[in-house]
Amino acid sequence: MRIIALDDTSMKDILTDLLKRDPNNYGEYENTVREIVERIRKEGDTALFEYTRRFDGAAMNPASIRVTEKEIREAMKEVDPALLAVMKKSMENIRRYHEKQIKNSWFDTQPDGTILGQKVTALESVGVYVPGGKAAYPSTVLMDIIPAKVAGAERIVMVTPPGKDGKVNPVTLIAAHLAGANEVYKAGGAQAIAALAFGTESIPRVDKIVGPGNIFVALAKKAVYGHVSIDSIAGPSEILVIADKTADPRYVAADLLSQAEHDELASAILVTDSMELAEQVSEQADSFLEQLSRRDIIRCSLDNYGYILVTDSMEQAVETANRIAPEHLEIVTERPFEVMTKIRNAGAIFIGEYSSEPLGDYFAGPNHTLPTNGTARFFSPLGVDDFVKKSSIIYYSKEALKKAHKEIEAFAEAEQLTAHANSIRVRFEEEE
Amino acid sequence: MRIIALDDTSMKDILTDLLKRDPNNYGEYENTVREIVERIRKEGDTALFEYTRRFDGAAMNPASIRVTEKEIREAMKEVDPALLAVMKKSMENIRRYHEKQIKNSWFDTQPDGTILGQKVTALESVGVYVPGGKAAYPSTVLMDIIPAKVAGAERIVMVTPPGKDGKVNPVTLIAAHLAGANEVYKAGGAQAIAALAFGTESIPRVDKIVGPGNIFVALAKKAVYGHVSIDSIAGPSEILVIADKTADPRYVAADLLSQAEHDELASAILVTDSMELAEQVSEQADSFLEQLSRRDIIRCSLDNYGYILVTDSMEQAVETANRIAPEHLEIVTERPFEVMTKIRNAGAIFIGEYSSEPLGDYFAGPNHTLPTNGTARFFSPLGVDDFVKKSSIIYYSKEALKKAHKEIEAFAEAEQLTAHANSIRVRFEEEE
C-alpha cells in the first residue's frame, strides 16, 4: 500500500478522489431510471414483468412473482444447518441491540392544563431491497429487517431479483424468513423500487424502502424519495483505521484488506503518527494479499482508494478521520476511548484491537447498514428510528389559550395571515 | 363548502385529487433545476451572482452577499417592538419544547467486557432556506433555527433572496438574529440550495439544508439530497378536523379557513359523523369568508381541495384521517384523547376545542415544519433529531471476541468474504 506523509494538499487530493465514488454523480443513468420509474407508476405489473424479463431473463406473472410457503420450505433444505445456527445467534444480538433503541412516546404537562408531547408510531409497511447475483448476503437481510420488526412495522415486504430459473437465492430467502419478512416478491432493479413506491397489482405500496443495490437501485431510490421515505443512498464501503505505535500491524493490515475486498470502489485507509507502523502494515498487507481469494478486487481497490497516511500527531489523525467521515472507523491506540470522544463523523466506531470491523458486519448487534462516502457527517446507521415517525401532540385548556390568545393573534397579523388570527379570536370574542 | 357522504369511491377520488398537489410531480422543471445545480457546483460564485441578477434582479458581489452587523442593527429599528416581544415569548416556548427532545449518547456493557452503544453528535453546520417575496414568515425562521441550536449545531447559515435593492426583509433578518443564525447570505432559489450543498467562494458548504421554498427550491433540495441531508420536501399545507356533534361549528369553520388561506393548493377537510355539524360548518365558513382579507385564496383552495366528509361512524372518520395522513389534525370530539390513541398518521395532533391549529403555528412550542401531502405516513415534524447523527460504538474484549470468533468466521466464509474471515482469524491463530 502506498504511504503518504499527510499535508493539506495531499488531504485535498484524497478527499477529491474518494468523492469520485459518489453514486449521486452518475447523472448519465438518471433518464433511464426516470423512464423505468414512470412506466411502473403508470403501467404497474405489465411494465414490471417486461423489465424482469429484459433485465433478469425471468418470466414472471401474478401467480409466480410472490414467493410461496413451499418455496421457503424447499429453500430451508438447501441451507447449511451450521450457517443457520450462526444466523440465529447473530439475529439474537442484532435484536437485543436494536431493542435498546426503542423510544417511547412522551408528554409534558403544565399547571394551566397544557399538554405537549410526541407520539411515536411504527411505520405500517416497509420495503426491503436485497440484491441478487451470484453472492448472497444474508447478514444484510437480517440487518435491514430486524430493526423494522423491533420498531413494530406490521408489514415487511422484501423484493429481490429472480434468477433466469425464476427462483431467488435460498440463503437470502431463509434469512428473510427467520428475520420476519411477511411477503417476498421476485423483482429487482429500479423497477422493484418503483413498484414498492407506487404499488402495482402484485406488489403493495410501502411507506419506506431500505437496502443496498447497484447504481440503478440507488438512483431509483432517490427518484422516489418524497413519495416514500428511503434509507440513505448506499455508496461503496470504507474503513479508516486510526492507529499508533502500540497497534499490531498484522491486525491492522487484515482489517484494511477486509473492507478492500468488497468491490473495486471500496476504500481502506490507515492514519497513523508512526512511520514504523505504516511500513509494517504496508508489508503485512502485501503478504496477506497473496493468500486471499479476492486478491484481484483487493489489489484494485487498494491501488485506487487505499492509503496509509502518516501524520505529525494523533490530533492530526483524528482531524483526518473527521474530515473523511468514514463508514467504519477503527481506533487502535494506547487509549482508544479517549480518542473516541474526539470523533465527530463516523458511521460505526470500533474501539481497541479486538474490535475488528467484521465483528460488526456479522455479529455484535449494531447495524452494518451505515452511512458511506462521507455522509456520516449527517446520516446515521440504520436503526429503529428509521422505522418510526413522530406526531406532535398539542393540548391547550381554555385557560391556557386565553392567557396567550392576544400574542398569537398579533403574530398571525404580523404575517398577514388574518384567517389564522380569526381562528383564535372567535374563541374569545364573546367574552370581551 | 361542499358536503360529501363518504364512501370508497369518493375516498379514492379525494386521495387522488390531494396527491395532484405533490411537488414531486413537477418533472418539467427538473432539467432546469439540474442545470442550475450543476453550474453552481462547477462555477461557484460566478454562477450564483449571475442567477441572483437574473432571478432576483439584484447585483451581488463577494462583499455584499453576506449580511453585516450594521444591516442587522438597521433592520432592528424597522421591527415593531410589540412583534419583537411576541417573538421572544414564542422562542422561549419553542426552545423549551425542543429541549425535551434531546437524546443522550448511551452504552450498554456485558460481563465479558463488551461495550455497545450509540454516540450522538450534533451536525457541525446547518443551512436554513427562507423564502423572500412580499410576505415575511418570521415564525418559520424560528422553527427552523431553534431546533438546530438546541441540538448543538455550531454553524447555522441562513440564505434568503434579496430584493432588487439588495436588501433582505428586516423581520426575517431579526428573527434569524434572535434565534441564533451565525451567518446570513443574500441568495435564493435553486442556486442558493446548490451553494449550500457544494459551497461557493462566498457561501460555505453545510451538512444539512432545511426550510420551505417554491418548486425550484423543493426540486433543488431533492437534487442535492445525498450530497447533504435535507428535511423533507415541503408541499402545500393541510388541515383535517375530526369532529362530532359536540363540536362548536364556528371554531371548526374558523380553523378550516385558517389553513385554506395559505395558498391555492392548501387543503381543508372536515370529517364528521354528524350531518348537522357538517351543514353548520359549511354555513359558518361562508359567513366568515366574507370578512377575511385573503378570501380569494381561501375560496380557490376550498373549491379545489376543501371537503366536508360525512361518515357513518367515528371509526370511519379516524380511518379517513389515517389514510389522508394530514399535516395538521384537530380532534374536536367528546373524548378527544381516546380518538388520539387511534391516530397513526398525522404531522401534529391538536386535541380539544381550544387547541386551534394556529396555536401550533406560532406559539405552543412544537415545530410547525411538518410532513405534508400524505408524507406523515413516514416523515416526522422537524426536531432536534434532524440536527444530530449517531455513530455506533463497538468494543469487544479479547475474551468476548474469542468466544465468538469461529461463528463470525463461518458467517463471513458463507458470504465468500474471505478477507473478512481472515481479519478475525489472525487474532487467534497463534493460540490454536
Catalytic residue among A71, A238, A261, A327: A327
Tell me, yes or no, whether A200 and A251 share the same domain. Answer: no
Q: Is B420 annotated as a binding residue?
A: yes
Q: Mean pLDDT across chain A, nearest whole number? A: 94
Tell me, yes or no, whether A168 and A101 share the same domain. Answer: yes
**Helix (H), strand (E) at residue A410:** helix A398-414
Q: Is B345 annotated as a binding residue?
A: no
Catalytic residue among A98, A177, A328, A368: A328
Measure in Å the smallest separation between the Cα of A299 and chain B Cα atoms.
12
Proportion of chain A above pLDDT 70, given as a percent: 98
Residue B12 to residue B432: CA distance in whole angstroms = 67
Residue at A97 is within a domain: yes
Domain end point (choices A212, A230, A248): A230
Tell me, yes or no, whether B48 and B181 share the same domain. Answer: yes
* Residue carrying the nine cell digits 385558517: B258
| Catalytic (active site) residue A227 | no
Proportion of chain A above pLDDT 90, given as a percent: 88
Instruction: Give the chain A residue whose CA is nearest to the CA of B424.
Output: A356
**pLDDT recorded at residue A234:** 77
Tell me the catalytic residues of B: 327-328
Domain count, chain A: 3
What ipTM was reported for this prediction?
Answer: 0.94
If we measure between CA atoms, which residue out of A349, A347, A341, A348 comes closest to residue A376? A347
A290-303: average pLDDT: 92
Pick among A79, A359, A386 to test the B interface (most B CBs inside 10 A): A359
Q: Are B207 and B228 spatial neighbours (Cβ–Cβ below 8 Å)?
A: yes
**pLDDT recorded at residue B25:** 63
Residue at B350 is within a domain: yes
Dig out the grid coordinates for B417 from the structure. Answer: 468474504
**pLDDT recorded at residue B16:** 86
Domain residue limits at A270: 3-22+235-364
Residue A267 to residue A25: CA distance in whole angstroms = 18
A132-185 residue pLDDT tens: 877 789 999 999 999 999 999 999 999 999 999 999 999 999 999 999 999 999
Residue at A323 is within a domain: yes
Selecting from B360, B381, B404 the residue whose C-beta is nearest the C-beta of A390 gives: B381
Tell me, yes or no, whether B99 and B30 share the same domain. Answer: yes
Residue at B371 is within a domain: no
Residue at B217 is within a domain: yes
Phi, psi for A172 (deg, rounded to 5)? -60, -45
Q: Looking at beta carbons, which residues of chain A come within 8 Å of B226?
A: 22-24, 222, 232-233, 375
Q: Are A298 and A398 spatial neighbours (Cβ–Cβ below 8 Å)?
A: no
SS3 A85: helix
Residue at B381 is within a domain: no
Phi, psi for A46 (deg, rounded to 5)? -55, -50
Tell me, yes or no, whether B154 and B139 share the same domain. Answer: yes
CB contact under 8 A, A228 and B420: no
Q: Per-residue pLDDT for A25 more than 70?
A: no
| Catalytic (active site) residue A276 | no
Tell me, yes or no, whether B175 and B222 share the same domain. Answer: yes
A381-389: average pLDDT: 98
Tell me, yes or no, whether B208 and B86 share the same domain. Answer: yes
Beta-carbon contacts below 8 Å between A and B:
373
Instruction: Give the chain A residue whose CA is nearest to the CA of B289.
Output: A419
Residue at B369 is within a domain: no
Residue at B47 is within a domain: yes
Tell me, yes or no, whether A262 and A342 share the same domain. Answer: yes
Q: Looking at beta carbons, which residues of chain B come within 8 Å of A393?
A: 340, 348-349, 351, 366
Tell me, yes or no, whether B222 and B259 share the same domain. Answer: no
Q: Looking at beta carbons, which residues of chain B come within 8 Å of A352?
A: 395-397
Neighbours of B221 (CB within 10 A): 29
Domain end point (choices A205, A230, A255): A230
Q: What CATH number is attached to the domain comprising B92?
A: 3.40.50.1980
Q: Per-residue pLDDT for A24 more than 70?
A: no
Tell me, yes or no, whether B241 and B315 share the same domain. Answer: yes
Q: Mean pLDDT across chain B, nearest whole number? A: 94
Measure in Å the smallest separation between the Cα of B278 and chain A Cα atoms.
18
CB contact under 8 A, B86 and A414: yes
Pick among B359, B386, B388, B397 to test the A interface (most A CBs inside 10 A): B359
The contacts of residue B317 (CB under 8 Å, 6+ apart) are B242, B271, B272, B273, B309, B311
Pick among B362, B369, B398, B406 to test the A interface (most A CBs inside 10 A): B362
Instruction: Please report, for residues A16, A276, B214, B399, the alpha-carbon distance to residue A325 in angstroms, rounded to integers and kept in the order given.
Output: 13, 25, 32, 30
Measure in Å the smallest separation between the Cα of B422 and chain A Cα atoms.
7
Largest separation between any pair of C-alpha atoms in chain A: 88
Measure in Å the smallest separation between the Cα of B338 and chain A Cα atoms.
13
Tell me, yes or no, whether B78 and B203 share the same domain. Answer: yes
If we measure between CA atoms, which residue out of A239, A251, A237, A242 comes closest to residue A341? A242
Tell me, yes or no, whether A321 and A305 share the same domain. Answer: yes
Domain end point (choices A213, A230, A247): A230
Residue B373 to residue B263: CA distance in whole angstroms = 14
pLDDT in tens, chain B (432 residues): 999 999 888 888 888 888 888 766 666 788 899 999 999 999 999 999 999 999 999 999 999 999 999 999 999 999 999 999 999 999 999 999 999 999 999 999 999 999 999 999 999 999 999 998 777 899 999 999 999 999 999 999 999 999 999 999 999 999 999 999 999 999 999 999 999 999 999 999 999 999 999 889 999 999 999 999 999 887 888 999 999 999 999 999 999 999 999 889 999 999 999 999 999 999 999 999 999 999 999 999 999 999 999 999 999 999 999 999 999 999 999 999 999 999 999 999 999 999 999 999 999 999 999 999 999 999 999 999 999 999 999 999 999 999 999 999 999 999 999 999 999 999 998 775
